[in-house]
Structure 1
Amino acid sequence: MKQLMIKRFGDASQLELVEQEAPCLATNEIRVQMHFAGVNPVDAKTRAGLGWGAEAIKDQLPWTPGLEVMGTVLELGAEVSIYQEGDRVFGLLAGGGYSEQLVVPANALLRVPSAVSDETAAGLSLAGITAWQALTEHGCLKAGERVLISAAAGGVGHLAVQIAKNLGATVVALASSYNHEFLRNLGADEVLDYREQEQVSQLESVDLFIDLVGGNSGKSLLTNVKEQGRVVTVPTNTADDVINAALAKGLSATGMLKHNDNQQLANLMQAVVEQKLRVEISHVYPLAEGELAHRQIETGHTRGKVLLQG
């Protein structure tokens, strides 16, 4: 089987398509034929040797990226009864998704409902869980509150807009003008161009700010948060700077790392089935073109999700 691996940290050219023997199957595992794997900013940062992801796998190189996958069950371990061969499954991984086949514990993945496309299932997991946990577990968003979401058209952002709206919040979305109509169609109440600083500065203050950009952008938007308001900053490499700046203004602030939760993921999938949540897929690349997929995600201007097709 083929899989994309990195043998050392570096730019996108470090992704190498290699032929590997299919792993053996334990009694509690399933073998999955990958149809689509999500490509996320954390994949590119880890490949580059940055952040918590790179720290976690630095002694495991060569390593195959890919934290979310959708595919079909090919084979069942002897103790597995919750699936049948041919079942469509999706979910979160600790890595390895950029592979034609993968072996995972049977309880790690969830079944894809018949009404949901392969591509939608592939793009939901990581961005959906991150958006949900940022808004609810860390942001404690309540109905009637105002929430500001930066990078609102991106993978996490466009799902956060919809989830926040479903929770009863007033949603203020920041994005380039190209994405304004897209975000209005997703339910955003107010949409502003992040480059129009005067317009942004006059924005009515918000109860919660979900910072999906970090750095100077994250710090500059703290002035739009109400006194004693709340800030959740998602990019880990600048989290300390944004948190310290927020605390200096008397705001409550935290960074976050998502944790895998299949019940939350099942709830998000149910929202997709009920057409309360839409996953936008902007680019699909063959597995062999992983380098191009990483270069696209690194532009920082991707609408929705990028996928690799197995």
Structure 2
Amino acid sequence: MSDTTAATSPGTPRHMRAIRQEKAGGPEVLELVETARPEPGIGEVLVRVHAAGVNPVDWKTRTRGRFYSGHTPPFTLGFDVSGVVEKVGEGVTVHAVGDEVYGMPRFPAPAGAYAEYLTAPARHLAPKPHGIEHVRAAALPLAALTAWQALVDTADVREGQRVLIHAAAGGVGHLAVQIAKARGAYVIGTASAAKHEFLRGLGADELIDYHEQDFAEAVGDVDVVLESVSGDYPARSLRTLRPGGILVSLLPLEESVYAEAGARGVRATRLMVEPDQAGLRGITELVESGRLRCEIAAVLPLEDAAKAHELGETGRTSGKIVLTVHV
């Protein structure tokens, strides 16, 4: 729509339910409230939220009481969203009322996905993949874009390369395994033995039980390492890389790691995921072709957001937790 008057779906309510946080703390600070429905600005759309993904960054933000962008309470958590465009702001041409969309808008600023409605820059969203429901679509954006931007945009993984993925059964890891395989890589994953069968089903070629084996001794001649564990993992991972290889970390790196990488003739870099419509379209293509699927650990209603955080913080789930909003 390019008209100066925004297009709106008939019957859109003026108020909505949302999960609000007034202070830092445990899951109990997440409260269900009724609040005013937001209005899309220029270049934005209003989305009727059908499902919202839950990510570790959510409970870390809740505990800290501050977004990476600096925003402090009161706020509504949640980045991953899948839903239907309800209203189109001035100047938007890429989406129309009634379109099914998904994405990770505004990261690292608040997106407010734990709510019945949110507004988003139109180009932070992409058409929802055909053939999957909103719950599965909402589980994808942050984790899949992280894996995509690390392996495709940053490391440029190519056919025949050897890729080592740490925490391979996690939210990002299990998607990274599939993305690397889709690009023709030989994939090595670190995970507990109980999760090896799951990862073989996703296409992993070689698996290392980090409880029983030192991956730095077991693996070598690696082209790309995707690191999300921290501690001594980055430094040890450098030992697995061939000359010219790259370590992509999802967490901050010590200066000593950069120095060691340079001495070894490899690269080390830290990735912070960002909204990316082109990346979402690439992910959609993999989903629709059957080469990428997201494991769902649990589905809970919006009002059980605190329970979702409690479950996620156990660290014992495989795959993603999703909140259902409009069903």
Fold shared, TM-score > 0.5 on shorter chain = yes
CA contact (8 A) 1:230 1:251 kept: yes
The residue identity in structure 2 corresponding to 1:62 is P
More deviation, 243-252/256-265: 243-252
State percent identity of aligned pairs: 40
Gaps of 5+ in 2: 1-15
Q: How does 1:17-166 map to 2 (within 5 A)?
A: 17-26=32-41, 28-49=43-64, 54-58=67-71, 60-77=72-89, 80=92, 82-94=94-106, 95-166=111-182
The one-character-per-residue Cα deviations of 1:190-240 (angstroms, maximum 9, x if unpaired) are 01211112576223441211102112333333333334532111023x565
Instruction: Please give the per-residue CA displacement for 1:238-282, whole angstroms capped at 9, x wherever unaligned.
Output: 565654554565531011111222012111101100111111111
The TM-score, its normalising length taken from structure 1, stands at 0.89
Number of equivalences: 306
Structure 1 residues 151 and 115, CA gap change in structure 2 (3 angstroms): same
The amino acid that maps onto 1:181 is E
Q: Distance in 2 between matches of 1:244 and 1:308?
A: 43
Relative to 1, partners in 2 of residues 1:244 and 1:197: Cα closer, same or farther, differing over 3 Å?
farther
Give 2:206's aligned residue: 190
Flag the 1:246–1:195 CA change in 2: closer, same or farther, 3 A.
farther
Contact 1:239–1:255, Cα closer than 8 Å, also in 2: no
Deviation at 1:100, TM superposition (A): 1.2
- Give ranges in structure 1 of 5+ residues lacking alignment: none
Q: Does 1:11 align with 2:23?
A: no
Task: Return closer, same or farther for 1:253/1:77 CA change in 2, 3 Å cut-off.
Answer: closer
Cα deviation for residue 165 of structure 1 reads 0.9
1:74–1:214 CA distance, 2 compared to 1 (3 A):
same
The answer (yes or no) to whether the contact 2:130–2:288 under 8 Å persists in 1 is: no
Assess if the C-alpha contact under 8 Å between 1:44 and 1:294 holds in 2: yes
TM-score, normalising length from structure 2? 0.84
Give the aligned CA root-mean-square deviation in angstroms.
2.4
* Distance across 2 between alignment mates of 1:158 and 1:19: 36
The residue that corresponds to 2:251 in the other structure is 235
The worse-fitting range, judged by mean Cα deviation, of 212-221 and 189-198 is 212-221
| Aligned counterpart for 1:177 among listed residues 193, 205, 223 | 193
Higher helix share: 1
Residue 257 of structure 1 is matched in structure 2 by 272
SS of residue paired to 1:296: helix
